[in-house]
Structure 1
Amino acid sequence: MADDALTLFLAGDVMTGRGVDAVLPHPGPPELWEELVHDAREYVGLAERVNGPVPRPVPPAWPWGDALALLDDVRPDVRIVNLETAVTGRGRHAPGKAVHYRMHPGNLPCLTAAGIDVCALANNHVLDFGPVGLTDTLDALTAAGVASVGAGRDAASAWRPARTVLAGGRGLLVFSVAAPSSGVPSTWAASPDGPGVAYLPEVSAASADALAERIRAQAGPADRVVVSVHWGSNWGYDVPAEQRAFARRLLDAGVDVLHGHSSHHPRPVEVHHGRLILYGCGDLIDDYEGISGQEAYRPELRLLWLPTLDAATGELRDLRAAPVRMRRMRLERAAPAEADWLADLLTRLGERFGVAPDGLLRLVR
């Protein structure tokens, strides 16, 4: 990291459970409790029917594929993802949920292979296997040297930010929160003496102000701040007015980046008073390959978001996004026509993007 610049890698949903876990070296129990699919290996079969055989077991780095070389080229200072799965081989599946995700702790090298620094955990799958599964997740990430944020053994730990030390004595603080619009039940909220997530009962001016107050109590004047928020529906490009107001209010209160996720595809990007809002980063790693029904969104296309901030002020200097696609449960570099489609999409949604000579999407300012 140069003393005057900070480059981040931000990703939306990294869902290494279910079918992804089934092809890794240490698959957990394959049983599922879904209406139509009862074995995680069936999702591997769906992918194979579309794009050909997936070797088993694959090495831990397999799901990242070409994304690893892209990250090596950019060399981001801090790597942050929304980890949307429990890391456990134990626990009972949460009743009343249609889908459950878990990755066996033995497959955690799938995350460390990508050099992930911080996993946001405030989402609608981290408690799929109850408090036992959450505790296992926290322990596994800690043992692997990966910071977690947004879930904990009690409210104090769930709301505590992850802190990364930067050059020049600065820190990067990451806060992670979840809203009910993403499917997080209110019963998952961490309590003073019980495990759970950092839960926002509503997305409003009042909740933004309350979160900003928490941030002011934790962040020093030289620190940079990212708020990672799990919100909204799985599909659709519209961003509700209350989400826009919430994001802008946080940035006006001193937050540098709003890192939104939950949608299975990218949603609009906004630069507000020089600071970045990603309303929906889209999925990055999952086992959705071969599932039909939403082809108009091109859900096989994914983005690795790579903002560069002024380290002293937090203002956005540059925004790049590496376009990739999922094939055989592995990320590959997107074809030029696919990169063009993603750039055109983001431009239609708001801020203008182009494709640079290196194949990365770039915000045009």
Structure 2
Amino acid sequence: MSKRRVTLIRGDGIGPEITEAVVQVLEAAGVPIEWEEAHAGLACLEKFGDPLPDATLESIRRNRIALKGPTTTPIGTGHRSINVAIRKAFDLFANVRPARSIPGIPSRYSNVDIILVRENIEDTYAGVEYWQTPDVTESLRIITRPGSLMVIRYAFEMARRLKRRKITCVHKANIHKTTDGLFLQCFREVAQEYPELETDDILIDNACLQLVTNPERFDVMILPNLFGDIVSDLCAGLVGGLGVAPGGNIGNGYAVFEAVHGSAPDIAGKGIANPTAILLSAIQMLHHMGLHEYAERIETALRYTLVSGIKTRDLGGNATTREFTLAIISHLPSATSSAGATESLAELPLTPLPPPVSIVQAGWQTAGVD
């Protein structure tokens, strides 16, 4: 099998340590990929004067797929968010965040199995905010029909392919009657094309309550950008935290997978960082690439490791990053493809739609948002 080239962005803080763990595990598993390293983040800004150089974007454009470690975006400055900039550069309109209970990970719940799909480009993340006066700021919320239809149809296609039973739209249309009203209207329109799927909608505040009291009522969730950003982290908290939360950003022809946690500069270089989240993101990436057998073997080895009690400190163990990585590698020979492994979140066929509306105005700049 010929090797597929993948852009690797190691990132800031603990990023180089946890991405190295992934490189070692995938190499030990014999995964037929070749890494092409690129740079982004605060360290990149300090070294090259740009947190996201054109060379990095060109690498992603050339390879069409990337694995990204956590990066740091300066808060309260004019520097753009790296995550938002990458999503916009490649129209990565869907952020896919699985939240699934993992044996061996301490959590209040043991039966969570949610896939959250977040619209990834529009909403307040369009970056249209500015000072009206020295005492007044304003931020515009952009929701478009093309952008909403695209991500909602993706969520339905994903639910159909993975044989999920139900899809829930989360919104605040009782207050944001125009913006969330449009998103909900698009959801109801698309739902008519998928009669085999149960559908419902729920207000964002009630959704948060239901998630922490009765998470099993949710299956697939579709949300506008800002709500999706918040609720996806809540869902991660249901299954053990951001340290076990993978994420994929999907577009037409491009995909970037990443650890959704921060760069944790306070523990960088200490050898205690937890690589689980970015390893799960790499597994998600392998499924996307059609390398299902490799993905399932690696996930099985990871699960064996966690159940055996070998965990990093944040998960209640005392293993170093290296010890945890070597334990996963040691379980690879006995790991076989398991039926219970993470389902494929591969790029799905999409009905052609107009591209999301581009919001670009001179004088406006993207704030430091993720």
Do both proteins adopt the same fold according to a TM-score greater than 0.5, normalized to the shorter chain? no
**Larger C-alpha radius of gyration, 1 or 2?**
2
**Higher normalized contact order (CA 8 Å, seq sep 6+, divided by chain length):** 2
Q: TM-score, normalised by structure 1?
A: 0.30
Q: TM-score, normalised by structure 2?
A: 0.30
